[in-house]
Amino acid sequence: MRISERLLGLVASPPNWIGLGLASVVLVLKGMGLIGAPGLAIAVLGYFAGFVVGGLWLGFPSLSAPTWEALHFSDEGDAREAMERALQGVRSLTRYNPDNRLPGSLQTRVMALCDSLDGLLQQWERSKGHLSLEDSFDARRIAITYLPEALNAYLSIPTSYARTRVLANGKTALDTFDDSLGELEHKVSELADDLASQDAQAFLAHSQFLKQKFGDNELSGAALLNLPSAKEPRS
């Protein structure tokens, strides 16, 4: 959460308004001459008293960033609904981006990967081709498990550590997450190409069938029926 958003939360909090209300009453009384020179000090004390009372009564505002919940999704029931729920959760957490731990470039890539998975899901539904059991499993798990878990794991690391400390693989957590996204992007692209290739082959086979059935050939339909060819005028 940005500093400006935290300050707005403080200003809009009930304890702040109660404190301001008490301070305003004191200032009005001072303006009417009912309170002497200590009026300003009393107004300040009135604000803090109102703030404390309001906080104890209604709860104090928090200046810290709200906690975020890790993403967990179940691969049960309808596959499309499960994938859509997971992708929506990933998008929401990516937009929230706690403590700005995701650089803008990675935010863009995560959102683009979600769009690619959405596109794969739509392509899968209308395609005449099919994915193998292993590929079908991978498609679901990328959306429901692999991508959410990778995002959870990266966001759990403090920003400075993720961007500067080298891990056992010789890369930072930031670079490692970048590589993980690349692997997921490659697999999704591979699955989409597989379906597209099957659809293209089905289209080609149908086109060849139509050509064989209705195209020009040595033994045309007219010849089989002993009818005059359209190219030869009747005598």
| CA distances from residue 47 to 34, 44, 59, 184 in whole angstroms, order as listed | 18, 5, 16, 55
Distance CA 37, CA 116 (A): 69
pLDDT of residue 108: 96
- Strand-pairing partners, residue 172, are 166
C-alpha angle 70/71/77, rounded to 5°?
150
pLDDT of residue 57: 74
| CB of 188 closer than 8 Å to CB of 182 | no
pLDDT of residue 67: 54
State yes or no: pLDDT of 56 exceeds 80. Answer: no
Q: What is the DSSP code string of 130-156?
A: ---HHHHHHHHHIIIIIHHHHHHHHHT
For the chain, the maximum distance between any two Cα atoms, rounded to a whole number of angstroms, is 126
Q: Which of 24-38, 74-88, 168-182 has the lowest mean pLDDT?
A: 24-38
Q: pLDDT band at 79, cuts 50/70/90?
A: confident
Distance CA 79, CA 149 (A): 18
pTM of the model as a whole: 0.61
What pLDDT digit, counting tens, does each position of 131-149 carry? Answer: 888 888 899 999 999 999 9
Closest CA to 79 of 145, 128, 129: 145
Q: pLDDT band at 114, cuts 50/70/90?
A: very high
Distance CA 26, CA 17 (A): 14
pLDDT of residue 58: 67
pLDDT of residue 233: 53
Per-residue burial over 146-183, b if 16 or more Cβ lie within 10 Å, else e, is bbbbbbbebbebebeebeeeeeeeeebbbebbbebbee
* CB neighbours of residue 194 within 10 Å: 16
Most confident of 43-57, 59-73, 105-119, 201-215: 105-119
State yes or no: pLDDT of 227 exceeds 50. Answer: no
| In the block, residue with structure tokens 């009564």 | 57
